[in-house]
Homo-oligomer: A and B are copies of this chain.
Amino acid sequence: SVVTANKAMLAYHRAELEELAKNYHFGYEASVAGGIPVIYALRDGLPANHIMSIKGIINGTCNYILTRMMKEGAGFENVLADAQKLGYAEANPSADVDGYDSAHKLLILASIAYGINAKPEDIMIEGIRTIDAEDIAFAKEYGYVIKLLAIAKKRSDDEVELRVHPALISSEHILADVDGVMNGVAIVGDKVGETMYYGAGAGGDATASAVIANLIEIARSESPAAMMGFNKPLETGLKLANKGDISSKYYIRIEAKDELGVLGKIATVLSEYKISVENFMQKNKGNLASLLLSTHIAKEDDIQKALLSIETLDCIVKKPVMIRIEG
């Protein structure tokens, strides 16, 4: 029998491990969301459900940083430095703030829900470095919070979206109050509807709680359970969806020279790609202007092309920032 908390290993090698573990217990509850028994919930609690979506706040470092940015209006770099001092972020914070840790955990959950064997390099992974106080201010103004989400979503009978990126979510959503270093995972099943699991995502005691749960499971049972709960899969033949095929609402921040005609040029590009604007805010700073806007539902590919095109405009001083809006 094996019990592990090593999510990076599972992110890359879980299919081989499942093959090897056929006749052994293989416990990995601690690999995702620390002390929250979310793997038990997904594998043993919801096996009657086709999973429609999983949305997880599963990196405490990012959530701590974003929560403080939301509450204090502080900038990313300042809060990161503080988080490093407090031990909530590593000296090299890349695995956390660039989204890789969340991606590793997402892939594990997606294997259980969808039996899908993707690798980190196959999926969209964006971190939180580009988010700044203006984005936070816009989010607040329109009733959103910003969270780093790990998302698995069944898009059709044969396709699954897997992606990690910051997202604006409604401040009314049950995940919006998952603050600080805490983790939360919202799982929608076709029968059960939306469920949510909340708790400490890291720390020695929380991890021990999950590891020991696996040990007790092994002690209690005689024959090993299927590692991913998938001896007779509910889902089969699902493929990973193309990254560019997502549809979503989008938030965009564009920094430009404050001169005549800027808004017109940007609006022209957006309409070229059939992107329509829902909310718009402009903030001027000296001879620069920040244009903050959210769109109606658009296609990821169109947004990406529009942003590239906007970036080449003379009046643009910085690569535009885009954050997806997840309901």
Contact = CB atoms under 8 A, between A and B. Distances in A.
Interface of A: 29, 34-37, 40-41, 44-49, 174, 176-178, 189, 191-200, 205-206, 208-213, 216-217, 220-223, 225-226, 229, 231
A40 B40 CA distance: 7
Given A37-B41, A195-B35, A198-B174, A47 B212 contact: yes
A221 B212 contact: no
A199 B197 CA distance: 9
Task: Give the one of A46, A195, A205 with max B CB within 10 A.
Answer: A195
A196 B199 CA distance: 6
A45 B49 contact: no
B177 A206 contact: no
B191 A48 contact: no
A289 B213 CA distance: 55
Nearest to A231: B220
Contacts of A221: 221, 223, 225
22 contacts: A29-B45, A34-B192, A35-B189, A35-B191, A35-B193, A35-B195, A36-B45, A37-B46, A40-B40, A40-B41, A40-B45, A45-B210, A48-B208, A174-B178, A176-B177, A192-B199, A192-B205, A193-B200, A195-B199, A196-B196, A221-B221, A221-B225
